[in-house]
Amino acid sequence: MKKSISLLTITLILCTVAAFSQTSFKDVKAGNVFHIDLPEYMAKTRGLNSDAELQFKNAVKDVYGIVIEDTKENLKLAELNFASIKEFYEFSNKNFLKDAEQKEISKPTSKTIGDINFIAFDASCYDTEAKTKIYYFTGIVETKSCFYKVLCWTALQNKDTFKPDFEKILYSLKD
């Protein structure tokens, strides 16, 4: 008898819960998946930049990189509507190395691969903390749904060694 009452109580509870949980749900996409090629000597890491979606480095070779993602949907929600990759480039780099010593920034170059647009440039400056000149290879990538900022860096004396790899990293990005 006690088993029957317990079974009946559990059944009633389950039916009541089922009746209230008939709310319809919709599929919501969150985040964005992108693909990028990294050299074998680079490994994913953390702690380089809190805004970065992806961070990678090789401390022994003294090379580092990050990818920051801005979905066009989120930019619109923030009322930031960019008509072109050039506008996004100008907006996102207006303060790049603003207060840096001995800075040099090259003119940007544009490139399109398939339906993906790229802008890339070189920069260098003196890092007072590291007491050395740092080389940066920076690129902006525009896909149908996102803007990405790719930033790779190393000591300036390693520029010629790693710039070809930095370029391959940038131009491999796709979503």
**Beta pairing partners, 138:** 121, 151
What was the pLDDT predicted at 100?
Answer: 84
CA 79 to chain centre: 20
Least-confidence region, from 6-10, 43-47, 73-77, 120-124: 6-10
| Average pLDDT of the chain to the nearest whole number | 87
Query: Tell me: the pLDDT tens digits for 23-52?
Result: 556 555 555 689 999 999 999 999 999 999
Query: Tell me: the pLDDT tens digits for 109-153?
Result: 999 999 999 999 999 999 988 899 999 999 999 999 999 999 999
Query: Residue 55: left (phi > 0), alpha (psi -120 to 50), or beta?
Result: beta
What DSSP assignment string belongs to 130-141?
TTEEEEEEEEEE
pLDDT > 70: percent of the chain:
82
